[in-house]
């Protein structure tokens, strides 16, 4: 799952650095992800993992780091 | 029609056109609105903001560049016009006559109705490098938002007086923050009990929810609100926005040290302030409290 998240961040995150080598807890917004880019990341994650983020997850902190995204997706996919 | 709207129309202050949110204004309404505009000018005189007045249009090129369609496609007002050969003119008229759709016979022009008074400013200031200390601009324009409503405080075309600060992050944020308190006093002096609140823009769609929550979490937008239509949902009559590097990056505005410029803007909803005055002090300005009258009607 993490590799897929990194690939999506690489494609949609507009990060100033390489998403494949970012630390798991690195702040993605600090790394250059804009609000609009985070929306594109969110939509791409939904497509890739066939999930829909509920409203309570559509917030800044959920998309702040690879670890947080991973945790949210794990919850939504139920470890599937 | 809402009750307040009915009262405004009955009194002749607003003139209905047949489309929700589009009204004519009476002389009395205009005197109050322009009086408030002068009040702002007098109180902000020492700021020495550079005045720029644009017609209520932005170029389509700059509109597309601004990213407005990413956030608010549902509010946009691009201008279309007939550009087919003369031979097709009759067909256009026939369709209109028959009540058939005719939008596909039009083509986009190079202009879009101004969505916010500050939009023409960013590409303009990008043309020359910023001096140290940045810039302060003063604009006033009709703006368009496609959101038909029977709430008189939610018009499709309305005027916005705005000040725009362009400079370093600290310059913009401090400037925006001091304005919230300053403007609150100005409105209180007019008998308007404005309260400040963290706010968000009406971003479109599911992604918009996330943008709105991001905006709130970062305290990028504040509003001064007063109850106009209802007490439960007070109306924003002013907004205070910190755009961070959004417009600087988009239009290539750089600070004197070469870093991307940040921007902030402070906007007065002119119709909304005027409506608040009528709501709080009555529909007859001759009977407004003396302290309000002497500030508005100089």
Q: pLDDT digits over B180-192, tens only?
A: 999 999 999 999 9
Chain B contacts of A61, Cβ < 8 Å? Answer: 217
Please report the residues numbered 16 through 75 in chain A whose beta carbons come closer than 8 angstroms to any beta carbon of chain B: 35-36, 38-40, 42-43, 55, 58-61, 63
Look up the domain containing B95 and give its range.
78-113
Q: Which two tokens stand for residue B222?
A: 């504040």
Q: Provide the domain count of chain B.
A: 2
Residue B266 CA to residue B174 CA, distance in Å, equals 12
- Residue A21's pLDDT is 87
B173 touches B267 (CB < 8 A): no
My answer on whether B280 and B136 are in the same domain is yes
Predicted confidence (pLDDT) per residue in B248-288, tens digit = 999 999 999 999 999 999 999 999 999 999 999 999 999 99
Confirm whether B12 is domain-assigned: yes
My answer on whether B139 and B216 are in the same domain is yes
Over 80: is that where the pLDDT of A79 sits?
A: no
Confirm whether B34 is domain-assigned: yes
Predicted confidence (pLDDT) per residue in B39-84, tens digit = 999 999 999 999 999 999 999 999 999 999 999 999 999 999 999 9
Q: Quote the minimal CA–CA distance from A55 to chain B in Å.
A: 8
Say which residue, A32 or B54, is predicted with more confidence.
B54
Confirm whether B152 is domain-assigned: yes
Q: Which of B198, B214, B242 to mutate to test the interface with A (most CBs of A within 10 A)?
A: B214
My answer on whether B243 and B171 are in the same domain is yes
My answer on whether B242 and B280 are in the same domain is yes
Chain A contacts of B206, Cβ < 8 Å? Answer: 43, 58
Q: Quote the minimal CA–CA distance from B227 to chain A in Å.
A: 28
Confirm whether B95 is domain-assigned: yes
My answer on whether B173 and B39 are in the same domain is yes
My answer on whether B248 and B288 are in the same domain is yes
Q: Which two tokens stand for residue B254?
A: 């750089």
Confirm whether B161 is domain-assigned: yes
| Cβ within 8 Å, pair B214-A60 | yes
* The residue to which tokens 């609009």 are assigned: A36
DSSP one-letter string for B32-44:
HHHHHHHHHHHHT
Q: Quote the minimal CA–CA distance from A39 to chain B in Å.
A: 5
Over 90: is that where the pLDDT of B141 sits?
A: yes
Question: Which candidate, B147, B235, B229, B167, places its Cα nearest to that of B199?
Answer: B235
Question: What percentage of chain B reaches a pLDDT higher than 90?
Answer: 94
Residue B215 CA to residue B229 CA, distance in Å, equals 26
Q: Provide the domain count of chain A.
A: 1
Average pLDDT over residues B16-24: 97
Confirm whether B65 is domain-assigned: no
Q: Which of A14, A28, A36, A57 to mutate to test the interface with B (most CBs of B within 10 A)?
A: A36
Q: Which residues pair with B196 in a beta bridge?
A: B224
Average pLDDT over residues A12-29: 90
- Domain containing A35 — which CATH number? 1.10.1200.10
Q: Which two tokens stand for residue A16?
A: 């100033």
Question: Which candidate, B147, B115, B128, places its Cα nearest to that of B50?
Answer: B128
Handedness of CA A43, A49, A52, A55 (dihedral sign): negative
> Reading across the β-sheet that carries B78-82, which strands appear in turn?
B57-59, B106-113, B78-82
Q: Quote the minimal CA–CA distance from B185 to chain A in Å.
A: 33
Tally Cβ neighbours within 10 Å of residue B185: 10
DSSP one-letter string for A22-47:
S-TT--TTTTT--HHHHHHHHHHHHH
My answer on whether B147 and B167 are in the same domain is yes
CA distances from B292 to A37, B14, B28, B29, B247 (A): 47, 21, 15, 15, 37
| Cβ within 8 Å, pair A58-B215 | no
Q: Which two tokens stand for residue A39?
A: 């929306």
- Residue B34's pLDDT is 98
Q: Which helix (H) or strand (E) holds B81?
A: strand B78-82
My answer on whether B101 and B220 are in the same domain is no
Residue A37 CA to residue B126 CA, distance in Å, equals 24
Residue B207 CA to residue B70 CA, distance in Å, equals 10
Closest CB to A59 among B71, B207, B213: B213
- Domain containing B227 — which CATH number? 3.30.930.10
My answer on whether B122 and B178 are in the same domain is yes
- A64: nearest CA in chain B? B214
Average pLDDT, chain B: 96
Bridge-based pairing state of the strands B221-226 and B195-198? antiparallel
Look up the domain containing A55 and give its range.
2-77
- Taking the CA atoms of chain A, what radius of gyration do you get in angstroms? 11
Question: What percentage of chain B reaches a pLDDT higher than 70?
Answer: 100
My answer on whether B185 and B208 are in the same domain is yes
Predicted confidence (pLDDT) per residue in B227-248, tens digit = 998 888 899 999 999 999 999 9
Residue B155 CA to residue B142 CA, distance in Å, equals 11
My answer on whether B177 and B107 are in the same domain is no
B69 touches B76 (CB < 8 A): yes
Q: Quote the minimal CA–CA distance from A59 to chain B in Å.
A: 6
Confirm whether B64 is domain-assigned: no
Question: Which candidate, B53, B203, B60, B41, places its Cα nearest to that of B117?
Answer: B53
My answer on whether B234 and B269 are in the same domain is yes
Q: Which of A39, A42, A64 to mutate to test the interface with B (most CBs of B within 10 A)?
A: A39
Complex-level ipTM:
0.82
């Amino acid at each position: 799952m993490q590799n897929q998240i990194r690939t999506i961040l690489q494609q949609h995150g507009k990060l100033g650095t390489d998403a494949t080598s970012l630390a798991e807890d690195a702040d993605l917004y600090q790394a250059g992800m804009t609000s609009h880019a985070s929306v594109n990341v969110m939509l791409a994650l939904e497509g890739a993992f066939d999930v829909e983020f509920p409203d309570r997850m559509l917030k800044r902190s959920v998309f702040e780091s690879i670890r947080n995204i991973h945790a949210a997706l794990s919850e939504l996919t139920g470890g599937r | 029609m809402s009750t307040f709207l009915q009262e405004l129309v009955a009194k002749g202050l607003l003139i209905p056109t047949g489309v929700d949110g589009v009204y004519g204004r009476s002389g009395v309404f205009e005197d109050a609105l322009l009086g408030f505009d002068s009040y702002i000018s007098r109180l902000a005189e020492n700021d020495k903001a550079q005045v720029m007045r644009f017609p209520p249009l932005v170029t389509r090129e700059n509109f597309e560049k601004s990213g407005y369609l990413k956030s608010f496609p549902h509010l946009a007002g691009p201008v279309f016009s007939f550009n087919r050969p003369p031979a097709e003119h009759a067909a256009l008229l026939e369709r209109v006559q028959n009540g058939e759709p005719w939008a596909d016979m039009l083509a986009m022009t190079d202009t879009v109705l101004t969505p916010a008074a500050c939009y023409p400013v960013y590409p303009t200031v990008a043309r020359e490098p910023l001096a140290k200390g940045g810039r302060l601009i003063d604009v006033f324009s009709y703006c368009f938002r496609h959101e038909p409503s029977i709430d008189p405080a939610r018009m499709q075309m309305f005027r916005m007086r705005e000040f725009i600060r362009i400079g370093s992050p600290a310059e913009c944020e401090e400037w925006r923050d001091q304005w919230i308190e300053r403007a609150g006093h100005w409105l209180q002096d007019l008998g308007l009990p404005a309260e400040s609140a963290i706010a968000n823009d009406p971003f479109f769609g599911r992604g918009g929810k996330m943008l709105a929550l991001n905006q709130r979490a970062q305290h990028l937008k504040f509003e001064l609100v007063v109850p106009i239509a209802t007490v439960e949902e007070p109306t924003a009559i002013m907004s205070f926005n910190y755009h961070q590097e959004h417009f600087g990056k988009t239009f290539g505005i750089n600070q004197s040290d070469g870093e991307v410029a940040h921007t902030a803007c402070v906007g007065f909803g002119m119709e909304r302030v005027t409506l608040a005055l009528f709501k709080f002090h009555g529909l007859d300005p001759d009977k407004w409290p003396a302290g309000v009258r002497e500030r508005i009607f100089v």
